[in-house]
Amino acid sequence: MKIVILGAGQVGSTLAENLASEHHDVTLVDHNESLLRDLQDRLDVRTIVGGASYPSVLRQAGADSADMIIAVTDNDEVNIIACQVAYSLFNTPAKIARVRSQHYFIGDELLGNSTLPIDVFISPETLVTNYIKELIDHPGALQVLNFAEDKVKLVALKPHYGGPMVGKSLKNLKEYVHGVEMRVAAIFRENRSIPLSGSTVIEVGDEVFFIAASENIRLIMTALGRVSKSYKHVMIGGGGNIGSNLAAQLEKDYEVKIIDHNRENCEHLSQRLTSSIVLHGDVADKDLLFNENIEHIDVFCAVTSDDEANIMAALQAHRLGARQVMALINRRAYVDLIEGGRIDVVISPQQATISSILAQIRRGDVVGVHSLRGGAAEAIEAVAHGDKKTSKVVGRTLEEIHLPKATTIGAIVRMGEVIIPHHDTVIESEDHVILFVSDKSHVRDVERMFSVQVTYL
């Protein structure tokens, strides 16, 4: 696929790296010549220096022959105009724009219809807010990902000392979930995926990904020892768009406190929010956290626009006794540095954005993608089409399907029903199949597996 990426920031450069590794024809556009030079030295991509919305620059980048334009500059208006130009002048088939400002999201009056010729709008702040809420709604989870219109969830957790999972083999986990169907999709040990079988034993420090019907997730997490009690008290560090939207979503079910350093913004928050307590101060202020009883806080979320402030605030909250701490981190180097340390959950807006974009790029009837573990793994939702003659999966049992290496089928959704498949489960046309690919180099094989032959009508 020929793809033009506009903007070589964190998202654009990471996306270019991912797509180039999959042998897509990638052109990267940015006004920063030195940044592009560094990227071209290490990536197999073409680079163009210039304004991302300029017709001459888009023409030079190949917009007239591109399959897709992905506009992820740091300017919403440039992203929108670039897609408009690509449509009006070059008739580019697919156009994706990242739009941060919530002022553009006013229902279907502007976005979501033919007013602007953009196929997919991505709001990182909305994605991150929803993601954090899922984590808070599922105490103890490191990740919670939704598939098939929220009928299936993939959850990541780490076994703790004394927990029922530690020292148990996968085949023995059924004893703890009382007949509820679930599947362990992957286990990462020392940052590497390990082969799975019924005799695989779970160890402390493992990162275990399991998949089940959404309605059963809470019961399974309780049975596996990760849920002692529901969260009740939440403190949010940062009253920007993410912090304020998160507080608005949570205050119906939780006792919420939100901290912001800007007095004027605090006044705005106090008017917008109905039951949340708004505090004016530094999110990492030890005295403020202590005076607000941080030791009784179930979840502390640091979501300011400053990575360093988020890290320091989360570490301070952890030291003062918060039950779980989360930090929003934009810089990839920081994510790699602090993940797995004293900060329980590191939230990356880039990974959330990239996941949404990859869902539009993947072939073979892929309808959902979640990028995991810094892009090294993916969870994929694909729809099976065709019949036994035209498809590599339809009409075959799981044991008959030659899955790509490092790939597991975790669940199937058929006409709204969630099926945790076994070796003799037959995949039918129109099934939504949820797969975990622990080695991203095999994603293209998964795409090909779910592509029907040209004889399919």
User: In angstroms, rounded to a whole number, what is the distance separating the alpha carbons of residues 268 and 248?
Assistant: 13
User: In angstroms, rounded to a whole number, what is the distance separating the alpha carbons of residues 96 and 22?
Assistant: 19
Q: Which two tokens stand for residue 200?
A: 């695989």
Position 436 pLDDT exceeds 90: yes
Give burial (CB, 10 Å; 0-12/13-18/19+) of 415: exposed
User: In angstroms, rounded to a whole number, what is the distance separating the alpha carbons of residues 364 and 445?
Assistant: 10
Position 411 pLDDT exceeds 80: yes
> What pLDDT is attached to residue 107?
57
Convert 446-456 to b/e letters by CB count within 10 Å (16 or more is b). bbebbbbeeee
> What pLDDT is attached to residue 114?
59
Alpha-carbon dihedral sign for residues 96, 99, 100, 104: negative
Average pLDDT estimate for 175-204: 88
Position 111 pLDDT exceeds 60: no
Q: Which DSSP string do the residues of 65-106 spell out, in sequence order?
A: T-SEEEE--S-HHHHHHHHHHHHHHH--SEEEEE---GGG-S
Tens digit of pLDDT for each residue in 8-60? 998 999 899 888 888 899 999 999 999 999 999 999 999 999 999 999 999 99
Q: Rounded to whole angstroms, what are the CA distances from 409 to 22, 210, 402?
A: 22, 11, 11
User: In angstroms, rounded to a whole number, what is the distance separating the alpha carbons of residues 446 and 297?
Assistant: 43
% of the chain exceeding 70 in pLDDT: 95
Position 173 confidence tier, pLDDT thresholds 50, 70, 90 = confident
Q: Rounded to whole angstroms, what are the CA distances from 421 to 186, 288, 380, 417, 431?
A: 15, 51, 16, 12, 12
Position 75 pLDDT exceeds 80: yes
Phi, psi (rounded to 5 degrees) for 172: -90, -5
Residue of higher predicted confidence among 111 and 165: 165
Helix axes 124-137, 349-361, angle to 10 degrees: 110
User: In angstroms, rounded to a whole number, what is the distance separating the alpha carbons of residues 349 and 360?
Assistant: 18
Position 457 confidence tier, pLDDT thresholds 50, 70, 90 = very low
* Residue 137: closest CA among 246, 222, 258, 230: 230
Alpha-carbon dihedral sign for residues 301, 305, 307, 311: negative
What pTM does this model have? 0.86
Tens digit of pLDDT for each residue in 204-216? 888 899 999 999 9
Tens digit of pLDDT for each residue in 286-327? 999 999 999 999 999 999 999 999 999 999 999 999 999 999
Position 281 pLDDT exceeds 80: yes
**Range picked from 62-66, 168-172, 225-229, 359-363 for highest mean pLDDT:** 62-66
CB neighbours of 441 closer than 8 A, spacing ≥ 6?
A: 21
Position 444 confidence tier, pLDDT thresholds 50, 70, 90 = confident
> What pLDDT is attached to residue 423?
92
Tens digit of pLDDT for each residue in 142-153? 899 999 999 999
Residue 234, number of CB atoms within 10 A of its CB: 24
Chain-centre distance for alpha carbon 322: 25
> What pLDDT is attached to residue 39?
92
> What pLDDT is attached to residue 172?
84
**Average model confidence (pLDDT) across the chain:** 89
